[in-house]
Structure 1
Amino acid sequence: MLRFFNLQKGRSLQHSGVRWTLNFNIGMGHLSSMFNGLARSFLTRKGKNIGNGDGREAAEAMAKEAKKNDLILRSSGVVNIDGSKNFASVFSKRGEKGVNQDSFIVWEEFGCQEDMMFCGIFDGHGSWGHFVAKKVREWMPSSLLCNWQESLAQTLLDPDVDLESDKKHQTFNVWRHSYIKTCAAVDRELEQHHKIDSFQSGTTALTIVRQNIFVANVGDSRAVLATTSDDGNLVAVQLTVDFKPNLPQESERILQCKGRVFCLDDEPGVHRIWLPDQQSPGLAMSRAFGDYCIKDFGLISVPEVTHRHNRQRPICCAGNRWEEVASTETLLSISWLRKLVDVFLCCEAEFKAVLIMGRDPSQICKPPLDRLIPELLDRAVKALDICNAVSSGIDSVRQYQKFAEIAVSALEQKPMDDGQVKRARKALNSLLTAMKVDDKEKDFKGAERTWSFGRRGNTNPFHKERAARYFRSLSMIIAKNWSASKQIQAMSSNLVPPRGGEPTGLALPVYVMSSVMVFVMWALVAALPCQERSGLATHFPIPRQLTWAHSMIGLQERIGEEWKKKEKKGSVGLLEEMQRMEKLALNLIEFADGFQFPGETEKMEEVAAQVAELAEIFRKMGEGLVPLQAQIREVFHRIVRSRTEVLEVLDHAAKISQPTT
């Protein structure tokens, strides 16, 4: 478990399974301009113009000076020099495969500028991976600084560049060109290094320059941005794409270079890159430094450089567990559901990147995407309605929690008398009554439903404005005749895998995203109180030959079997905490019915243990339900934003495809 601290506000962000992280907090002071006179001073050193050699020498001299002044951090810890408005913390933990091959660096006052910080993480692999990662960590900052100075000088001295009118664009171009040159140079130097065998070893590299936020990614490490939501909670926003071999643009390049991409039988869902005629090397990423055995067959070290103008907290993560729902969590517990929703948010972000980022809009308007994309958008609208219903169901669970809290408060009294037992029995009866109410009779906050995208067919401006307010506030108003089971059925009705040659294009990612969306919504409906679930399907078809589907099918079968058992009893849901609460409530009511003061010692000890267990359950509910509800709201708004972006791309594609007159 890792914890990322913001010392200024005392908040923390937690995420399990990530092997190491880097986090820095950006101060609120004014950022100095990158285009300033200080940069010009780097062009000369001791009265000489800097060429490639002298520039590198000057950059290395700056690195030595920074080390001397404790401005560089290369081990777990923090760097926060006196007078700085930046804060950075780093943590690394060895995984289960032996040597820790992770390396990282934080360089405060990068390039001798007080408002600039360089941060990098390097995740090695192969027998020499830890040496490769350390060497790239050593070379990259100085090389980048040298190339940045050179690119900056050329930009400053170019009479055709108007810095005042196009400053942001030119700033990004300087960093982008600097990063591309740096990564190419580092990869060449690594290949020529005679003391490190990087033929079948390599490293990923994820670096951030904090003057604004410039991110360069080579590999499958990940950068996220810790932002603050409206309710004050920290929310993670993904900044980078994990470069895996099965991404369409990566797979296309690898196949064109005669490389191969497939999963091993014992690793379903883990796509790797292989040589044309050998079962080697099996890299799980499509970009990396080193690994020269596969460089001619599709592996590249070209970085993706992006820019984010934001003063929140970037977090860099290396490791391969972001996508996993931890197997140690109890199925359908609150913590399990939270991780399931987290997985969905990660999948949604990566899918959107695959679908629209850097892609010709006309591509997603061609068959079969001209059919599949609208179907996906329709599922998204239905998912929004389910988010509303599930969030309302969480409110019901919180009411059950209050009944349990009353009962615990009464039964914890010492000594326990008839009055306290009667009070507890009344609360427990109310709890069981609420949990046994038939879905059809449950009052879900009103008799009228606010559609996820405003009321349809209403042209009155006043009503449009009112609908927009409902939309922004994530209204939970649902019609009495709305059915969660029918909504799930509608989402899965036309969910069919790609046919023929479709799996090689974008059709497969669309199908995968649709399947994930349907599964997550179905699991939430099965777990939490939700309006009208009679006849909820216990499975939806997913072809078993698709390797990524094995784990989903297994979970679906387990949840489906539990639902069949509980539906006959009129259970309010499969949430693990609710089932335990129901069982304990029945036992305690039985005790209350036969209670006679002062009570038998042995029986009282047994009851005390049950009360303690019930107290632990509502404590976990108190800790987990509010964050889970916040995640559901985030899913709602994320789907809305993504749907809007896709519609804008489709609209743009339609406009450019119209014949000119």
Structure 2
Amino acid sequence: MGSCCSISWTPIGSIAIDAYENKEHTDETEYDHHNHNHQNHHNYIQNGDGARVRFHGSSKFLSMYTQQGRKGINQDSMTSWENFNGENDTYFCGVFDGHGPSGHEVSRIVRDNLPTKLSSFLKKSNNIVATSEFFSSWENTIVRSFEDLDEEIGAADSSVNAYSSGSTAVTVIKQGDNLIISNLGDSRAILCTRDDNNKLVPVQLTKDLKPDLPDEAERIRSRKGRIFPMEEEPEVFRVWMPEQDSPGLAMSRSFGDFCLKDFGLIPTPQVSYRKITTKDEFVVLASDGVWDVLSNTEVVKYVGSARKRSIAARLLVERAVQAWKYRYPTSKVDDIAVVCLFFKEHQVDKLDESELNNTFSEEVRPGRHKKLKSDDGLDTVVNCEVTRTHNRGVTRRKQSSHHR
């Protein structure tokens, strides 16, 4: 895992983040497969409600892993809370993908503060997950938590400069057989279930919130934001300020990115509900470093075939890195973060060895990176020189060694 950047924000809850983060990430070469399962069951801290909070590692029903890419500091972060909000059999899990110069700070601020803010609002509203009839009040509470945190990140006295930096967020709350999913940006959550032939199949739980989606584009353009791709990436649509070719954000919703908040970018998540059935096996939350190179079907296959749950997330990350090198040998591997939440006792889904070889389907997010000549398909093009080609009405990017 990549090293973790310290931040000056104090979490809303009672978690000793700074002390924990000093121990959080180690160099990849120090990873010990033999000791991994034993050690990571104890890699948590406990808050005042009795919740067990993890930023990496595993437990009986959880597997988490992140790996720094080749672009600089790891801007992905993640968290899981067992007994969330003081409730037994309740989990909160989230993955946060930062972008821009201070994206690593924004993603960690969201990681450290969103669960406690949500828990605080839930206590005030006395929400208890029981049936889908409660979904409306849960949705309002989750939306309020996201929007309130975004305001705090953008406050004048905030310790982070989020003018042209931000973060995605994809989260799930599970209590019993109830699952509430929230998504902001282009990270993704999928569910693994079994079909009538008992085969593992994926169900995508979130929509990748991209600027070219009709509803998203209508909102952005109605507020004077501009949407168009760069010449090198004609299928990757980006959001730009009205009078400047900046920042070129490749998503339509996010925390931070305040240079675009007046022009259609919003911090409002899409929230949905699903009743877990006996056929459902697990959920996977991951940043776009996975979804840009692996299909939903491949993700379900790799996680479901893991010999130990403790290594399921790491196995998926390693497969994604292999796919990056195979598909885009001239591009820089993206940061990757994965959280797997399992619903049942461990059962390995046996696959033929041929199904687990290093071949990758083409059923991945279209357009991303395929037209790039040398780099990495950025979430933003801050610190890149962007010039307009008048005869074609699109932009051309000049490569910069400082972009992210």
Taking structure 1 as the reference length, what is the TM-score of the superposition?
Answer: 0.38
Which residue does the alignment assign to 1:97?
A: 71
Which residue does the alignment assign to 1:71?
A: 52
1:73–1:79 CA contact under 8 A, matched in 2: no
1:148–1:174 CA contact under 8 A, matched in 2: no
Q: CA deviation at 1:324?
A: 4.4
CA distance, structure 1, for counterparts of residue 361 and residue 119 of structure 2 = 40
Matched residues, number:
271
1:186 aligns with 2:149: yes
**Percent same amino acid among aligned pairs?**
38
1:176 aligns with 2:145: no
Give SS of 1:114's match: coil
Aligned partner of 2:172 among 185, 208, 218: 208
1:258 aligns with 2:224: yes
CA distance, structure 2, for counterparts of residue 118 and residue 194 of structure 1 = 26
CA distance, structure 2, for counterparts of residue 307 and residue 279 of structure 1 = 38
Deviations 1:573-629 (A, max 9, x none): xxxxxxxxxxxxxxxxxxxxxxxxxxxxxxxxxxxxxxxxxxxxxxxxxxxxxxxxx
CA distance, structure 1, for counterparts of residue 115 and residue 51 of structure 2 = 16
Q: CA deviation at 1:60?
A: 2.1
1:197 aligns with 2:161: yes
Aligned partner of 2:284 among 292, 315, 319: 315
Aligned partner of 1:245 among 191, 197, 211: 211
CA distance, structure 1, for counterparts of residue 15 and residue 293 of structure 2 = 41
Matches within 5 A, 1:94-133: 94-133=68-107
Higher RCO (CA 8 Å, separation ≥ 6 residues): 2
1:152–1:174 CA contact under 8 A, matched in 2: no
Q: CA deviation at 1:323?
A: 4.5
Bigger drift between 186-195 and 271-280 goes to: 186-195
Taking structure 2 as the reference length, what is the TM-score of the superposition?
Answer: 0.61
Give SS of 2:203's match: strand
Q: CA deviation at 1:229?
A: 2.9
Q: CA deviation at 1:238?
A: 0.5
1:93–1:100 CA contact under 8 A, matched in 2: yes
Matches within 5 A, 1:380-459: none
Two-structure CA RMSD over aligned residues (Å):
3.2
Deviations 1:489-533 (A, max 9, x none): xxxxxxxxxxxxxxxxxxxxxxxxxxxxxxxxxxxxxxxxxxxxx
Counterparts in 2 of 1:129 and 1:250: CA distance versus 1, 3 Å: same
Give SS of 2:211's match: coil
1:297 aligns with 2:263: yes
Aligned partner of 2:13 among 54, 57, 60: 60
Which residue does the alignment assign to 1:328?
A: 326
Aligned partner of 1:339 among 336, 361, 375: 361
Which residue does the alignment assign to 1:151?
A: 125
Larger strand percent: 2
CA distance, structure 2, for counterparts of residue 255 and residue 298 of structure 1 = 7
Q: Mind listing any 5+ residue stretches in structure 1 that lack a counterpart?
A: 1-18, 20-56, 81-86, 157-162, 348-544, 548-661
Higher Cα radius of gyration: 1
Q: CA deviation at 1:307?
A: 0.4
CA distance, structure 1, for counterparts of residue 222 and residue 273 of structure 2 = 30
Which residue does the alignment assign to 2:252?
A: 286
CA distance, structure 1, for counterparts of residue 16 and residue 203 of structure 2 = 32
Q: CA deviation at 1:257?
A: 0.5
1:63–1:142 CA contact under 8 A, matched in 2: no
Q: CA deviation at 1:226?
A: 1.1
CA distance, structure 2, for counterparts of residue 98 and residue 232 of structure 1 = 42
Which residue does the alignment assign to 1:439?
A: none
Which residue does the alignment assign to 2:116?
A: 142
CA distance, structure 1, for counterparts of residue 199 and residue 66 of structure 2 = 25
1:62–1:111 CA contact under 8 A, matched in 2: no
1:102–1:121 CA contact under 8 A, matched in 2: yes
Give SS of 2:154's match: helix
Letter of the 1:210 partner, please give it.
K
Letter of the 2:13 partner, please give it.
E
